[in-house]
Amino acid sequence: MTVEMHICGICAWRRECQKRFKLEKDSLIGSYCPDYTRDLSIKATVSNEGEDKQTIMDQMVSQQLDKWRKLLDKVLKQGIKIENFQGGPVITISREPGSGGSEISRRLSKALKLDLIGGQIIQHVADSAKMSRKVIQSLDEREVTFRETLLSSLFGENRPWPGEYLQHLTKVVGTIGAFGNVIMVGRGASYVLPRQRTFKVRIVAPIELRIRHFMDDRGYTKAEAEQYIVKTENNRRAFVRKYFNADLTDPAHYDMVINTERITMEGATEAIIVAFSQRRNRLHPSFQHLEKKEESIA
């Protein structure tokens, strides 16, 4: 297949890319660019032209680990046993491609002051044995029993497809969820984490609207946009079906489903915040952490 050269503009950088790399693209399947990413959290961190995406993601994970270590040190200094540690709340975002889910996630992160961890970061950690080990061990290397109990409890509702990759993915997502105060986008996070301490959101929109979004925002032709959407949707559905034996589109799995056809990004964000705030006060103790955090800020 002939590989053509295209001007960079199909990833999270979109038209804001200042480097104007010529991007090799093979029918939207293979893309080769030092900064190519669809993860807005990675884009926001890129500042040094000498750093590639892998280095940037390693740095982001290391920064998150430092934050968790400080949190654990604070908890232990207060005399709280690690097995009694209750992490903060977690919001998981599942979205149809082109529905605005990534933008809504970014707005939620800013409004609620929660860390935003995109699917590419989770994938990067799960694929890297070194980074995966660092994240999994971040709770405390001495508390093996607690960690294994935590991880085994994550399978209360689902029976995942076995495999080394899933073990890494589950442990990574489980560890992130254990610390909490985070928004996780994609990679089956809503199927790994326990329902009682996770607020699960799904963002959808009619395919015509999503096609137009990709045409306007990324410069795709109608055929390219439709091809990308169908391919991405099929991959995501297959991933959830294979590893969790579940239907990604089942609305009963989520606490909230939002159709962005008739609601703005601002409206969707506000609606999620209201629903999240009401739920967190009634369920798991972790949902009250944010309440205390907001009170201290006020």
Q: Which amino acid is at 244?
A: F
At residue 50, the pLDDT reads 43
User: Residue 60: which CATH number?
Assistant: 3.40.50.300
Whose CA is closest to 114, among 90, 141, 136? 90
Q: Are residues 26 and 112 in the same domain?
A: no
Q: Are residues 20 and 96 in the same domain?
A: no
pLDDT by position in tens, the chain (length 298)? 343 444 444 455 444 554 444 444 433 333 445 455 544 444 444 444 445 555 655 665 566 566 656 666 665 566 655 555 566 788 999 999 999 998 999 899 899 988 888 755 555 555 555 555 554 444 443 333 444 444 444 444 444 444 666 676 777 777 777 778 889 888 788 888 888 789 999 999 999 999 999 998 888 899 999 999 998 898 888 888 887 889 999 999 999 999 999 899 999 999 999 999 887 666 555 444 444 444 443 4
Phi, psi values for residue 157, rounded to 5°: -105, -20
Indicate if the alpha-carbon torsion angle 114, 120, 124, 126 is positive or negative.
positive
pTM of structure: 0.63
The CB density around residue 294, as the number of other CB atoms within 10 Å, is: 12
Do the Cβ atoms of 298 and 242 come closer than 8 Å?
no
Q: How many domains does the chain have?
A: 2
At residue 218, the pLDDT reads 83
Please check whether residue 109 lies inside any domain of the structure. yes
Give me 280's structure tokens.
């967190």
Q: Are residues 29 and 81 in the same domain?
A: no
Please check whether residue 45 lies inside any domain of the structure. no
At residue 41, the pLDDT reads 47
At residue 60, the pLDDT reads 58
Q: Are residues 69 and 211 in the same domain?
A: yes
At residue 239, the pLDDT reads 80
Domain of 11 in residue numbering reads as: 1-36
Task: Name, in order, each residue with C-beta under 8 angstroms of 206's C-beta and a sequence gap of 6 or more.
Answer: 259, 261
